Amino acid sequence: SGRGEWLEICNDFKFKTTGIEINKSFISILERKGLNVVNSDALEYLKTLPDCSFNLITCFHVIEHLSDSYLFELIKEIKRVIHLDGFVLIETPSIDNPLVSSKLFYQDFTHVNHINPDSFSFLLEYIGFQSANYYHINGGPLQNGQQFKLTRVFNGISQDICFLASPSKLEKSIQKTIL
pTM: 0.86
Distance of CA 70 to CAs 121, 126, 129, 137, Å? 16, 16, 18, 25
- Tell me which of 50 and 106 has the higher pLDDT: 50
Half-sphere exposure of 111 (CA within 13 A, CB side): 17
Cα 141-10-64 angle, rounded to 5 deg: 55
DSSP string, 18-30: -EEE--HHHHHHH
Q: How confident is the model at residue 37 (pLDDT cuts 50, 70, 90)?
A: very high
Q: Kindly indicate the confidence band of residue 26, based on its pLDDT and cuts at 50, 70 and 90.
A: confident
Backbone φ and ψ of 75, nearest 5°: -65, -35
pLDDT value at position 179? 46
**Closest Cα partner for 179 from 147, 123, 135, 141?**
135
Cα–chain center distance at 144: 21
Burial class (CB in 10 A: 0-12, 13-18, 19+), 87: buried
pLDDT tier at 169 (50, 70, 90 boundaries)? Answer: confident
First to last CA, the chain: 29
% the chain with pLDDT above 90: 66
**CA 47 to CA 11: how far, in whole Å?**
24
- pLDDT category, 140, cuts 50, 70, 90? low
Bridge partners (DSSP) of residue 133 are 164
pLDDT tens-digit series, residues 48-99 = 999 999 999 999 999 999 999 999 999 999 999 999 999 999 999 998 888 8
Percent of the chain residues past pLDDT 70, beyond the cut: 85
Q: Residue 163: which of 27, 67, 24, 59 has the closest Cα?
A: 59
| Contacting residues for 103 by C-beta, under 8 A, at least 6 apart | none
> What per-residue confidence (pLDDT) applies to 178?
47
What is the average pLDDT across 116-132? 94
H and E: helices and strands count for the chain: 8, 6
Task: Please give the mean pLDDT across all residues of the chain.
Answer: 88
